[in-house]
Amino acid sequence: MKWEVIIRRNIAWDDLESEQHSLIEKVKSNPKVAYLLFSEPSPTFTFGRNSSSQELLWSNDLVRNHKVQISPVSRGGKWTYHGPGQILLYPILHLPTLGYSSKSVRAFLEDFRTGVREALEELGVHNLSLQEPFGIYLNEKKLVSFGLAFQRGISSHGMALYFEDQSFYFSGITPCGVSGGLSTNLIDNLSQETTWDSVTKLLAHSVKNRFSLRISQVL
């Protein structure tokens, strides 16, 4: 398995979607290549296949005044927000190449979440819990959200780590369909200073290690 890490900061949502689709096509052509696509996109409310228009709480004027794009996405799930102060990670890869069956979605998700959790613990964030809606929580507040899609055994979309406070924009939606859902962020829960880039590198290392364990188990 050949890994490639791609980082895109200050990227428009439509450009991020285009890059993701391009990487999916590359994996279709060569299943032995896996991509970890990191990004920090421009402000965007996204809604999945199970969403309702009533879960968008801001008026059209508020959305326009705060320069937030609204975009449908191909994953399941409901409304969420992505934008500056987040670390998005999309693992784009062929599940069977890593030792999963094409239908082993839950096992893949659990390994992905474990890799992210281990990176957070290495940063000194402890007392994390794994709850539903599927995510990573700290003191009953969501720190990491997950939302993935799968096509012919290839994963797309991924997770969002709230690096900085996101509460203002989350007030514009009912996130994940959970009324009154609360989020937290990494910076407010660290005892030492860190940067977006350094956390991204740690996440890449930890997630690759977790998936590599799956490969070694089937060899």
Q: Which sequence positions are flagged as catalytic? A: 176
161, 203 contact by CB (below 8 A): yes
C-alpha–C-alpha distance, residues 14 and 12, integer Å: 6
Closest CA to 196 of 31, 23, 9: 9
Closest CA to 159 of 201, 203, 123: 203
